[in-house]
Amino acid sequence: MGFVPGRIEIYKQALTHQSHFRNKNTKMKDNERLEYLGDAILDAIVGDILFRKFPFKGEGFLTEMRSKVVSRNNLSNLARKMGILSHIQYNISNKRNQSFINQISGNALEAIFGAIYLDKGYHFTARFFEKRIFKMYIDIDHLEEEVISYKGKLFKWSQQSRKKLELKCTEKPLDNRMLYQIAVIVDEQVMGEHEHLSKKKAEELACKKACEKLAI
Among candidates 100, 120, 101, 122, which has minimal Cα distance to 198?
A: 100
The answer to whether residues 195 and 201 touch, using CB atoms and an 8 Å cutoff, is no
Q: Which of 39, 43, 48, 195 is catalytic?
A: 39
Is residue 24 predicted with pLDDT exceeding 70?
no
Which residues, other chains included, contact 181 with Cβ-Cβ below 8 Å and sequence gap of 6+? 169, 170, 171, 172, 193, 194, 195, 202
Q: What are phi and psi of 183, to 5 degrees?
A: -115, 130
At residue 84, the 3 state secondary structure works out as coil
pTM: 0.68
pLDDT band at 27 (very low <50, low <70, confident <90, very high): low
CATH number, span 8-145: 1.10.1520.10
Q: What are phi and psi of 120, to 5 degrees?
A: -115, -15
Q: What are phi and psi of 194, to 5 degrees?
A: -160, 150
Dihedral sign for Cα atoms in the order 193, 198, 200, 205: negative
Range 140-158 burial, b when 16+ CB lie within 10 A, else e: eeebeeeeebbbebbeebb
**Biggest distance spanned by C-alpha atoms of the chain:** 59
Eight-state DSSP code of residue 130: I
CATH T-level topology, domain 150-214: Double Stranded RNA Binding Domain (3.30.160)
Predicted local distance difference test score (pLDDT) of residue 62: 87
Residue 110 annotated as catalytic: yes
Mean pLDDT of 25-31: 71
The answer to whether residues 148 and 68 touch, using CB atoms and an 8 Å cutoff, is yes
- Domain ranges in the chain are 8-145, 150-214
Tens digit of pLDDT for each residue in 104-152?
Answer: 899 999 999 999 999 999 999 999 999 999 998 888 888 877 766 788 8
Cα–Cα distance, 170 to 182 (Å, whole number)? 6
Q: Which of 110, 130, 203, 204 is catalytic?
A: 110
Half-sphere exposure at residue 23, Cβ-oriented, CA atoms within 13 angstroms: 3
